Amino acid sequence: MVTLGSTLRYYLWREPVDMRKSFGGLQGVVTNDIKRDALSGEVFIFMNRRRDQVKLLVWDRSGFVIYYKRLERGRFELPALIGAVRGQALPWADLLLILEGVSLRSVRWRKRYAGPGRAEAKKQI
């Protein structure tokens, strides 16, 4: 069983995805468009055009898992665009804020020690 947490890497695909896609279709987006290994254990995040549905695809040692959330009201907010990229790495904390409906523009982050290698979380795909 996969549990999501801060130790995993998250990648947000910024282009709308047809939510009828399941394991194979989303794996195709990861492999062909994002150019990542879908079997890596990284978490790939997809939204529909209206941004009221989100799917997270992750490999857990023996198979794929999809987490799916549909909003009855409102929309998921996308983080600010970093350059002209179609996908970007996303920190765990930002994913939590997006899923809980917190406005990313109004969040003020206080300084914290990030440790070596944490700057990689802000890299683009």
1-57 tens-digit pLDDT: 567 888 899 999 999 999 999 999 999 999 999 899 999 989 999 999 999 999 999
Q: How much is the pTM?
A: 0.81
pLDDT greater than 70 at residue 116: yes
Give me the mean pLDDT over the 82-96 stretch: 81
| In a domain? residue 110 | no
Number of domains in the chain: 1
Q: What is the mean pLDDT of the chain?
A: 85
Residue 57 inside a domain? The answer is: yes
Q: Is residue 91 part of a domain?
A: yes
Please tell me the predicted confidence (pLDDT) of residue 84.
67
- State how far the alpha carbon of 74 is from the alpha carbons of 51, 59, 93, 98, 106, in Å: 9, 29, 20, 12, 17
Pairing of the two strands 43-47 and 53-59: antiparallel
pLDDT tier at 87, thresholds 50, 70, 90: confident
Residue 114 lies in a domain: no
Is 125 a domain residue?
Answer: no
The CA distance from 104 to 54, in Å, is 17
**Sequence-distant (≥ 6) Cβ neighbours of residue 53 within 8 angstroms:** 19, 47, 68, 69, 70, 71
Give the structural domain span for 65.
10-73+84-103
Residue 71 pLDDT > 60, yes or no? yes
